[in-house]
Amino acid sequence: MIYDALWLVPLLPLIGFVCLTLLGGWLSRRAMAVLGVGSVALATALAFTIGYTFLTRPPATGHCTEVIGSWLAVGNLHVRFGLYLDALALVMMLVVTGVGLLIHLYSATFMAADSGYRRYFAYLNLFVASMLMLVLADNLLLLYLGWEMVGLCSYLLIGHDYADPVNGRAARKAFVVTRIGDAALLVGLLLLLAHWGTLQIQPLLGLAAQGWANGSALATVAAALLLTGAVGKSAQLPLQVWLPDAMAGPTPVSALIHAATMVTAGVYLIARLHTLFELAPAVQHAVAALGALTLLLASCSALLQRDIKRILAYSTISQIGYMFLALGVGAYAAALFHLMTHACFKAVLFLSAGVVINALDEEHDIYHMGGLGRQLPGTSLAFLTGAASLAALPLVSAGFYSKGLILAQTWNAPGMGVWLWTGGILGTLLTAIYIFRAFFVAFLGRPKSHARCGATAAEAVALVVLAALSVTAGFVEIPAGLGGGVQAFTGLVASALPPGPQPAHTGNLPALLELIASLTAVAGVLTAYYFFRYRPPAATAAGAHPITAAVGRLWQSGWGFDWAYERLFVRPLVMFTRANRHDAVDALFTGIAAGSRALHRGLSRTQTGRVRWYAAGIACGSFILIALMVLP
């Protein structure tokens, strides 16, 4: 059976990593590329074959398990290298391998001039292997292994160009901030292990669902710890600060790790363990609220960035906010759908931005670009496709269908649904404005610099495929509001995830909501057109007022989170450790040593060699002794 080969999917990129690491010295650059891209290509081919089988002849139970071997067994704790494939894992596996392959291919020429070519491909292969391990793991410890390994690869690749200490700082920041979440996640794992005696995901969920009352304290603590882990990895409030700086890494890395795959691991985690979150309604509400808040704050910040990659980074934070919003209202399938389309359109945005940056000799500032539409027409078109999808332009973009599904189901959520929906709609407006601002400023208008070169063939292939997907990937799910009733995606994942909130009203409401969302997106594009293409002075004038300027600075700096964390945590920590560099505890022992030395000096001073002093000493001593004896 083809499912027996499932373990080869993560193993092939891992073999690529090992070969690149061990044989590296003997390989030509061409061989490195063949090995690096080839291993992922094989894994992708296998993954899609498995996916095809899963769609045509699904396993009877809706999932299958492959066990490679045992990892460790102590007492009641048994952890194995086991893979679990259901519709949720399948979607993740296909996204990771598919987008991963295209980005590997793109990298083969994009990184050609880099001196760390082998290191780059080794780490990228290791990343794909780890990410696949994360999404396919059938137990939480193996998931945690993948979780930490992708974090490591993220660190290594952000700091790929290690000569510049700025990159090193960004890489460390990313690792340490996410590790705060990871530590919480680990404590969550320990809690689950202590109470249910297993880390096997499916049995564990079954036990928890039976054993924990809805809203019980332990379930709430467990879910909150897991959420902290997810928030760190997926760059949500309040741990989002690492992602904009992570753009220091090479652009394909930003596309693969910091947009399409790794940062969505938190979304996957919550979807995978949704049973636990449903047992803790307070935490689930927090997921929705955090998502809504994050998407708004991040899109405000994206409005003010000049660095094209930072615009996209804030956009990623914001789009994952949509996914969290969906998870929080129980619309798991919608979250996963948006994860998939986002992986396509954000990858194409990053990859086309990469071509631009490369063509303009490492120019990141959109205000130094301009007029690229004529110089790099293909790349510009690819960017436009991605931008349209990100802005959720009606009908012709994948983002429209996935974001629409999230908004529709959010509206239907009981309780805060309408408020969350309003936040989502506001986000749609902001999203359309910030991404089309980037498009109008960088790609239209007067050229401000000369594009050195266009996309190579390999890069073009990746761009074309991803751009096509950014348009078409949404057609698998046509909402009822459009009279569609195509439900291929939600139908597929229905075997793994419960359905989202069902509409309480019928009639024209769904269509009306779709219409509002569509009009908002179009309004956003028009606003961007007015301010950044039609009358740019209007934008300058609006930003000149002291109040708007202050707000602008706040947004531009990411709402001052970095500023506050620097003063609250980083500086005190550095100050304390600096002050204690010589280890205050040692003062205790050196103090004892100094004390006895002083005593020694004092006593040795009495050894004067003068008989008079000795006689006086003896006399005094005798006097005191006698006095002590005589006195009662």
> Which of residues 161 and 365 has its CB atom nearest to other proteins in the complex?
161
Tokens of 118: 């082998």
Taking the complex as a whole, how short is the minimal distance between the CB of residue 618 and other proteins, in angstroms? 34
Which element (helix H / strand E) includes 510? Answer: helix 509-529
> Which of residues 41 and 145 has its CB atom nearest to other proteins in the complex?
145
Taking the complex as a whole, how short is the minimal distance between the CB of residue 278 and other proteins, in angstroms? 23
Neighbours of 589 (CB within 10 A): 9
Positive or negative torsion for Cα 553, 554, 559, 564? positive
Tokens of 110: 């994009």
> Which of residues 52 and 162 has its CB atom nearest to other proteins in the complex?
162
Which element (helix H / strand E) includes 78? Answer: strand 77-85
Instruction: Return d(Cα 28, Cα 36) in angstroms, integer.
Output: 12
Binding site for other proteins (CB under 8 A): 70-75, 77, 141, 144-145, 148-149, 152, 155, 159, 162-163, 165, 168, 171-172, 175-176, 179-180, 182-184, 186-187, 190-191, 193-194, 573, 576-578, 580-581, 583, 585-586, 588-589
What DSSP letter does each residue of 295-362 carry, written as one string? HHHHHHHHHH--BHHHHHHHHHHHHHHHHHHHHHTT-HHHHHHHHHHHHHHHHHHHHHHHHHHHHTTS
> Which of residues 197 and 536 has its CB atom nearest to other proteins in the complex?
197
Instruction: Return d(Cα 431, Cα 315) in angstroms, integer.
Output: 8
Taking the complex as a whole, how short is the minimal distance between the CB of residue 147 and other proteins, in angstroms? 8
> Which of residues 9 and 376 has its CB atom nearest to other proteins in the complex?
9
Please tell me whether residue 234 adopts helix, strand or coil conformation: coil
> Which of residues 266 and 479 has its CB atom nearest to other proteins in the complex?
266
Taking the complex as a whole, how short is the minimal distance between the CB of residue 79 and other proteins, in angstroms? 9
Q: Are 575 and 566 in contact (CB under 8 A)?
A: no
Tokens of 303: 């409005």
Taking the complex as a whole, how short is the minimal distance between the CB of residue 543 and other proteins, in angstroms? 38
> Which of residues 26 and 589 has its CB atom nearest to other proteins in the complex?
589
Taking the complex as a whole, how short is the minimal distance between the CB of residue 122 and other proteins, in angstroms? 10
- Burial class, 562, CB count within 10 angstroms (exposed 0-12 / middle 13-18 / buried 19+): middle
Instruction: Return d(Cα 493, Cα 20) in angstroms, integer.
Output: 36
Taking the complex as a whole, how short is the minimal distance between the CB of residue 183 and other proteins, in angstroms? 5
Q: Are 525 and 428 in contact (CB under 8 A)?
A: no
DSSP code for 64: E
> Which of residues 37 and 133 has its CB atom nearest to other proteins in the complex?
133
What is the Cα Rg of the chain in Å? 30
Beta bridge partners of 477: 487
Tokens of 107: 């990298």
Dihedral, 284, 287, 293, 298 alpha carbons, nearest 10: -170
Taking the complex as a whole, how short is the minimal distance between the CB of residue 586 and other proteins, in angstroms? 4
Taking the complex as a whole, how short is the minimal distance between the CB of residue 127 and other proteins, in angstroms? 14
Instruction: Return d(Cα 93, Cα 542) in angstroms, integer.
Output: 46
> Which of residues 577 and 606 has its CB atom nearest to other proteins in the complex?
577
> Which of residues 86 and 182 has its CB atom nearest to other proteins in the complex?
182
Taking the complex as a whole, how short is the minimal distance between the CB of residue 138 and other proteins, in angstroms? 16
Please tell me whether residue 583 adopts helix, strand or coil conformation: coil
Beta bridge partners of 85: 64
Whether the bond into 238 is cis, omega within 30 of 0: yes
Taking the complex as a whole, how short is the minimal distance between the CB of residue 384 and other proteins, in angstroms? 38
Instruction: Return d(Cα 39, Cα 594) in angstroms, integer.
Output: 65
> Which of residues 129 and 334 has its CB atom nearest to other proteins in the complex?
129
> Which of residues 228 and 261 has its CB atom nearest to other proteins in the complex?
228
Taking the complex as a whole, how short is the minimal distance between the CB of residue 220 and other proteins, in angstroms? 14
